Every structure is written in structure tokens, then in C-alpha cells.
Structure 1
């Protein structure tokens, strides 16, 4: 009972709602601010001596984390754009991350994660669809700032791997209609992480609008069709692998990501779901229910 009480207490304490601003000036071609503005370094990360974002691995050692790197880079880029006549130096932190990404992109077009994901039974060495899409967004903006063709080549490679089928080492799980679900963490069975798919979609939309491609249309159509699967009736799910409610912060992130997706795609369903989930976010009873249900399910899972 002590473990259950601890989980419940943690859930009750976690009633704060973080703000994830949606950029009013986001464009489908990515020439402007990123659709959702990240306001600081992601939790659990730090800047190394070279200014590159690192996360702490299970062994306690830091490693460059592509998703965290992109969140920080794109947040810095958006904040710099918002300033009155920012000089090139203001974009320095952004370009540091973009330069690292391009220099360390492998021959497949991606960045392998050197850590396992026990939640999905994934061993080290996996590619993340979220990282691929966000890196594309980062590299496209780096090209806009520098004019260096290499960044465009990097964005092309990132999207190529993003759209490669999971069974061929990529990040896209295709349905019978040929529509991809962009997997943040490719696994068997599929994990279907909602926030990761939405972040990946942003990069795909921006890249396809630059190149004249249409791959984003099938991806956004599938997400729109499957949004109901993430709706618990009182809260949202983090993924489809587990039936647990998302944390309060991830539910808040879902709301902002869906609102931004509605702006990029012009599809009302994303706004409709964002509005419905926003109302639940503002309801203390719904927040508390989500935390208690999650704590209970996690406790039962740990007991086997």
C-alpha cells in the first residue's frame, strides 16, 4: 500500500498546467517560427562545453539527444525571430544544434538513440520519427539563415528515413490504405505516441511544402481519422500501447500541438479535439481523475 499511496500522492501534487504557446505566425513551409514555442531547456537536459544539448542516460552519462536538441534549437529560433532586428549572433544557440545535427547525421539520414526504451521493449540503436521530423524543421531553418545547401540535403535525408517503413528500418508504420503513422519510437507492437507523431508531422509538412511533395497529406489524414483512439472520454492518452491517461503536462502539450496542427493543415477536426481536451484540462476534477487513474494502473502494472 505504501507504493500506491506514493503514486496517488504524486498524482495529486501534479495539478499544475504548463504553458505551450502556439506560434501565431507559423507557416506551412517553415519560413518563420516553429508552430509550438518551447520556452526553455527540456527537463533533464543540459548544455555541454560546446553548447550542445545532452540528456542523462540510464548509466548516468550524458549523450546528445536529438529531440531535446531540436526543442531547444527551435525555441531559440522562435524567440530570436520575435526580437526587433536580431543579429546573427542571436541565432548562435540555434545554429550550434543545427550544425551538430548535420555533422552527425548518419548515412541513413538519421540519428540513432544509444539508450533503450523499456516501456516499448526497444533496445539501443533505434531511430525516432519525432527526431527525424524535428530535425527536418531545424535544418530547413538553418538553411534559411545560412544559405548552406548541406542543410537542405540533411532535411531531405531526415524525411526520407522518417517515411521509410518500420520493417525496413524507418519510422513510418503504414496502414492498408498506404497512410503512415509517424512513430516516435518504432516498436513491435506499434507504440503510437501522439505527441511524437504530431511533432514529426510538422517537419514533414514544412519539408513537403518546400519540395512540392504530398506525403504529409496521407499522414495528417490518418492522424485525423485515429484521434478518437486517444480519447478516454475524460482525458487523452499518451500512446496506444498502454491505456493509461497522459500526464497533465502531456495533455496540455496535446492541446497545443493539435491547435497548431489545425492551423497548418486547415482540418477542423484537430481544432475540435483541441477544444474538447482544453476544457478537460481546465477542469480540476478531470485532472485529478486522470492522475488517480494513471497512478492506479501503474501500480497494478508494477505488481504484475
Structure 2
């Protein structure tokens, strides 16, 4: 009975869902607000003495987290754009993150994560396709704001690593048609994290429309072709590595990211799936079912 009560408690607790607003009519070249509105620091993060976003690692150590940094930066950029006036200081928090990304980008064009990912059996030192795509989105906007060519060059390098095959240390897993799946956490076997692939796709779309190229079309076609794999028929999956439903917050994030992807790529499949999953999110029965099924499967996995 204790286990059952625990599952029920987790299910009810996870009914609380945050919102992820989407920017109306986002620009494909990234000149303007980011397509997803992020209004605060990501959970589990803070600012260090220099104002850089840091996360807490598994041993309690604090480390700069590129994805969290970009979420915060892009949210601050959108907030500053919406604030009228000539004061450039309102972009200060955004430029702090963008400058860190440019300064700490390694020779391969990326930012290695110093923490492991036990979920996928990944050791420290990995590159994230999500970080590469969001980094490009941040750096492009920093170039627009400052005119500093080094930000644009850094965005180019970030995308080069994003599109480098996983077998060569990059973040793209190519199929036989030469279409990349943009891996948030490259692993063997592939993890196929949906929200990471969508965030990476946004950055790739913005970069390719700005700099020329059609890699975004191939990545969008690949994700559109495989989107059904993430559909449980009544809810979405977080990834394709584990067969349980996404959390309520990630399901809500999927809905918003699919709306943004549809607007940026023009592919109706993203809009249609996003609308289906939005209806699932609003159905209390499916919502609770997803929470209980996930809790039960995770419990079974951990206890054999």
C-alpha cells in the first residue's frame, strides 16, 4: 500500500504544469525575440559572482551550464526588446551570457559538459546538440546587438559542431538519406531527446536563414518523419531510449516547441502533433494516466 500511495502522490503532484508561451510570428533569421518565451532562471540554477548562470552537479559542485545559460540569456534578450528606451544596460544580463559563450567556446566550436548523464551512460566531457543550437541563437542576437563579428563567427562554429556526425565527436546522427537527428545528449545507443532536438532545430533554422544553407530542411524533415515515434497515442515521450511518458512539464514544453517549429519550418506535421498533445494536456484523465504510468515504470526499472 505504501508503494501505491507513493505513486498516487507523485501523480497528483505532477499535475501542476508551467506554461511555455510562444512568440507570435517568430522570424526565421533570428532577428528579434526568441520563439519561446522564458521568463526566469531555469530550475536548479543560479548566478555566480560574475552573473553567469551555473548549475549544481551531482557532487554539489557548481558549473557553467550552457543550455541554462542560453535559456536565461534569450529570455533576458526578449525582455529587453520589449522594454522601450535607449538604455543599453537592459541587455547586460544577456550579453554576460553571450560573452561567456564566445570566450569559453573550445577549438571544436562547443562547450563540453563536465558532468555525467547516467540516464544514457554518458561520461563527462560530452557536447550537447541543444547547447550548440541554442548557443547559435544567443550568439546571432549578440552580433545583431553589438555588431561584433566574433559573435557571428562563434555562431558559425557552434553550428559546425552541431552538424558534425556523432561518430566524429559531433551532435548529429545521420540516416541513410543524409538527414541529421540533432542529439541533445549523443550516446550509444542514441537517446533521441525530443525537446533537445527541437531547441537545436530552432537554432539551426535561424543560422541557416541568416548565413545560407539548407541543413535545417534536412533536420526538420528527419524529425517530422520520426515524430510519430514520440507519440504514445495519448501523451508524448521525453526520448526514445526509455518507454515511459514525459513529465507533465516536458509534455507542455513539447507542445510549445512544436508550435514554434511549425511556424519556423512551415511543416504542418509539427503543428498537428502539437495541437493533439495540447488536447491531451488539457484532459485530466490522460494527464493523470501519464503521471501514474511514468511513476510506475520508473519504479519498476529502479527496483528490477
Q: Shorter-chain TM-score category?
A: over 0.9
What is the match of residue 74 of structure 1?
Answer: 74
Cα distance per residue 1:42-82 (max 9 Å; x no partner): 00000011000000001101100000000000000011111
Q: Residue 292 in 1 paired to residue 292 in 2?
A: yes
Kindly report which structure 2 residues correspond to 1:251-266, keeping only aligned pairs within 5 A, or say none. Answer: 251-266=251-266
- Conservation of the 8 A alpha-carbon contact between 1:191 and 1:239: yes
Q: Residue 146 in 1 paired to residue 109 in 2?
A: no
Q: Residue 270 in 1 paired to residue 274 in 2?
A: no
Distance apart, 1:207 and its partner CA: 0.5
SS in 1 for 2:246: coil
- Conservation of the 8 A alpha-carbon contact between 1:3 and 1:299: no
Cα distance per residue 1:262-296 (max 9 Å; x no partner): 10011111110011000000011111000000011
- Conservation of the 8 A alpha-carbon contact between 2:25 and 2:263: no
| Partner Cα separation in structure 1 for residue 83 and residue 267 of structure 2 | 31
| Partner Cα separation in structure 1 for residue 293 and residue 172 of structure 2 | 31
Q: Residue 180 in 1 paired to residue 183 in 2?
A: no
TM-score (ref. length: structure 1):
0.98
| Partner Cα separation in structure 2 for residue 224 and residue 260 of structure 1 | 13
- Conservation of the 8 A alpha-carbon contact between 1:128 and 1:185: yes
SS in 2 for 1:127: coil
Distance apart, 1:85 and its partner CA: 3.0
How much is the aligned-residue C-alpha RMSD, in angstroms?
A: 0.9
Change (3 A) 1:88 1:242: same
- Conservation of the 8 A alpha-carbon contact between 1:4 and 1:295: no
Distance apart, 1:14 and its partner CA: 1.1
| Partner Cα separation in structure 1 for residue 239 and residue 176 of structure 2 | 21
- Conservation of the 8 A alpha-carbon contact between 2:10 and 2:292: no
What is the match of residue 32 of structure 2?
Answer: 32
What is the match of residue 100 of structure 2?
Answer: 100
What is the match of residue 245 of structure 1?
Answer: 245
Distance apart, 1:6 and its partner CA: 2.2
What is the match of residue 50 of structure 2?
Answer: 50
What is the match of residue 110 of structure 1?
Answer: 110
- Conservation of the 8 A alpha-carbon contact between 1:4 and 1:299: no
What is the match of residue 131 of structure 2?
Answer: 131
| Partner Cα separation in structure 1 for residue 216 and residue 177 of structure 2 | 14
Distance apart, 1:217 and its partner CA: 0.4
Distance apart, 1:143 and its partner CA: 0.2
- Conservation of the 8 A alpha-carbon contact between 1:109 and 1:157: yes
What is the match of residue 220 of structure 1?
Answer: 220
- Conservation of the 8 A alpha-carbon contact between 1:8 and 1:296: no
Q: Which moved more, 1:223-232 or 1:82-91?
A: 82-91
What is the match of residue 84 of structure 2?
Answer: 84
TM-score (ref. length: structure 2):
0.98
| Partner Cα separation in structure 1 for residue 276 and residue 177 of structure 2 | 28
| Partner Cα separation in structure 2 for residue 140 and residue 4 of structure 1 | 50
Distance apart, 1:206 and its partner CA: 0.5
What is the match of residue 203 of structure 2?
Answer: 203
- Conservation of the 8 A alpha-carbon contact between 1:25 and 1:32: no
| Partner Cα separation in structure 2 for residue 300 and residue 62 of structure 1 | 32
Distance apart, 1:216 and its partner CA: 0.4
Distance apart, 1:26 and its partner CA: 1.5
Unpaired stretches in structure 1, ≥5 consecutive residues: none
